[in-house]
Structure 1
């Protein structure tokens, strides 16, 4: 049985309430939503994605005021961040509410929550009336889906429905910030930059700055433990387009901020006008490279600043460098 295409937030919410799995758009990437309090529904989600069970999920709420739907307490650092960035592409890690399935959090006592800044997502969550676990809508390890047709490529017949509407997306997932301690610690770079976070929490730090980094950091943060964002083609990072090596017999794809000269082996090339456009289009470019049967994808490294910091992280993971 194929996956239904829907355009009604109410229908999406009803599927979630009934224990089903629905892909819906957010301002970052498409999310794959299930009732976070329903063990059986969460199992269906993990099975559909082929996601390892030790990889926790982010829980989505209709608005920041509903934090208690998923979290047991709201810490001072989380309150500051939610006031500044919610709704938006920010996930705060807090002590878990007992009603949230332990499968969602991989058995941990903490849960990541966020309120998406997208009218369709917010309406689905409001109508569902419960916390919704929603990782990116793709097969585990593949590039995240930013268009509904890309979601279907991975998940047709594996989930109940896909919301049939595209729209502007940031193209990079939410920033995950551990707010369980006295100092906010960024566990996963995302669409909210560390510079923005430090404007409201000057002592915030990134996990790689933390000399006392815990061994379980990758486990605590969704999207960091296992291989992610990888197309079928081999991904190679380059600093400049001129660094492209000759690839005899290969089908080459290239993306970046600078153009390359036409080469006979290049089957796909995309030059982005800005760093924001680069972040927004990166995942879909990787998917198009697979559609064009590219065997090698050259990716110009994003500058390590602003949203480029998160994009560079995704590029490194796509190339297997993280």
Structure 2
């Protein structure tokens, strides 16, 4: 398959380019497109064969559900069987935006899209290109991240091309993504809303809107996941990765010690530091992922830094932890998964 790369204005995408991509969606093909979180790999969510193409292109496990993207609130009605009051509150508050709601699916949504589940995950993205594509296609678009399963998620069209060239029909290049980590996935099928995946909307923001919100036990290492996607390898760079958590000064000391030892062994070490700490490391290839006091700068750069270390060919990645408040919860979730829960916790 020849992959067509089309540059589009991220704020005002031209209709001609959008129509080319929408024609591919309607014909059962695959289109990678930008959202505010990461790039998505899209196909017609109501077409069983098209949905299967997503799994094949990504080498994605068949029981890992796809998120269905819509362009207006009213499109939810045909996709779900009932709408709890919390869903309407959250839609009004956070859509368009990085929040995915898990609801009971209607018969209209095929099981190939939901990973065999009786629930469907739905969101309305906050990106002009994504919204224009969904609207012009005339169908909801199923779209997980546009990467090979297990790899760091793509936040630029170049990342997508690296993983998906020859596997998708069109890549819409709308520049870098704003949030940089995937949407928050919130299950509304039980008595209390449960976060299955932390993301661009924080737990604090959700609780302010609807009251108590729980974290799924599967977010913790060693616990049984409720969401099928939680049990699979995610976000992993090519080199092994170690996350060091604890007081900042202790993190710097431990990472410096490990980097020095590995360098003496002849290893090429990459250090994921922050704006406040990068100057303290004297060994290894040091990249600042962002500002500790502005977690959005870290989430926006997280996956691109992991891919940068891949391209540099490092033998080991050492990463600092950050506090798990606000967007920090999503950042630490991704870092720990990328490291395969290879973590040092310091007091």
**Fold shared, TM-score > 0.5 on shorter chain:** yes
Corresponding residue number in structure 2 for 1:155: 164
* Distance (whole Å) between structure 1 residues aligned to residue 73 and residue 31 of structure 2: 22
Corresponding residue number in structure 2 for 1:229: 235
The SS at the match of 2:112 is: coil
Kept in 2: contact 1:302–1:308 (CA 8 A): yes
- Pair 268,159 (structure 1): closer, same or farther in 2 beyond 3 Å: farther
Aligned pairs, number: 315
Corresponding residue number in structure 2 for 1:189: 198
The SS at the match of 2:77 is: helix
Shift of 1:84: 1.0
Does residue 259 (structure 1) correspond to residue 268 (structure 2)? The answer is no
Corresponding residue number in structure 2 for 1:294: 314
* Distance (whole Å) between structure 1 residues aligned to residue 333 and residue 92 of structure 2: 26
* Distance (whole Å) between structure 2 residues aligned to residue 281 and residue 196 of structure 1: 22
* Distance (whole Å) between structure 2 residues aligned to residue 238 and residue 209 of structure 1: 21
Does residue 41 (structure 1) correspond to residue 50 (structure 2)? The answer is yes
Question: Which stretch shows the higher mean deviation, 3-12 or 188-197?
Answer: 3-12
Q: TM-score normalized by structure 1? A: 0.93
* Distance (whole Å) between structure 2 residues aligned to residue 121 and residue 106 of structure 1: 23
Question: Which stretch shows the higher mean deviation, 152-161 or 163-172?
Answer: 163-172
Report 1:276-315 matches (<5 A): 276-315=296-335
Cα deviations by residue, 1:219-258 (Å, 9 ceiling, x for unpaired):
2xxx422010001011111132221212121111111322
- Pair 149,69 (structure 1): closer, same or farther in 2 beyond 3 Å: farther
Cα deviations by residue, 1:147-171 (Å, 9 ceiling, x for unpaired):
0000000010011110022144201
* Distance (whole Å) between structure 2 residues aligned to residue 45 and residue 17 of structure 1: 15
* Distance (whole Å) between structure 2 residues aligned to residue 20 and residue 97 of structure 1: 24
| Superposed structure 1 runs of 4+ greater than 3 Å apart | 260-264
* Distance (whole Å) between structure 2 residues aligned to residue 71 and residue 229 of structure 1: 30
**CA RMSD for the aligned pairs?**
1.8
Shift of 1:308: 0.4
Does residue 75 (structure 1) correspond to residue 92 (structure 2)? The answer is no
* Distance (whole Å) between structure 2 residues aligned to residue 84 and residue 9 of structure 1: 28
Question: Alignment partner for residue 184 of structure 2, among 160, 175, 184?
Answer: 175
Corresponding residue number in structure 2 for 1:318: 338
Cα deviations by residue, 1:249-273 (Å, 9 ceiling, x for unpaired):
1111111322154545x23422523
Structure 1 spans left out of the alignment, 5+ residues? none
Q: TM-score normalized by structure 2? A: 0.87
- Pair 31,267 (structure 1): closer, same or farther in 2 beyond 3 Å: same
The SS at the match of 1:217 is: coil
* Distance (whole Å) between structure 2 residues aligned to residue 147 and residue 271 of structure 1: 16
Answer 1 or 2: which has greater helix percent: 2
Shift of 1:184: 1.2
* Distance (whole Å) between structure 1 residues aligned to residue 110 and residue 339 of structure 2: 33
* Distance (whole Å) between structure 1 residues aligned to residue 68 and residue 100 of structure 2: 9
Structure 2 spans left out of the alignment, 5+ residues? 9-16, 246-250, 343-347
Corresponding residue number in structure 2 for 1:250: 267
Corresponding residue number in structure 1 for 2:14: none
Kept in 1: contact 2:39–2:177 (CA 8 A): no
* Distance (whole Å) between structure 2 residues aligned to residue 84 and residue 123 of structure 1: 21
- Pair 262,194 (structure 1): closer, same or farther in 2 beyond 3 Å: closer
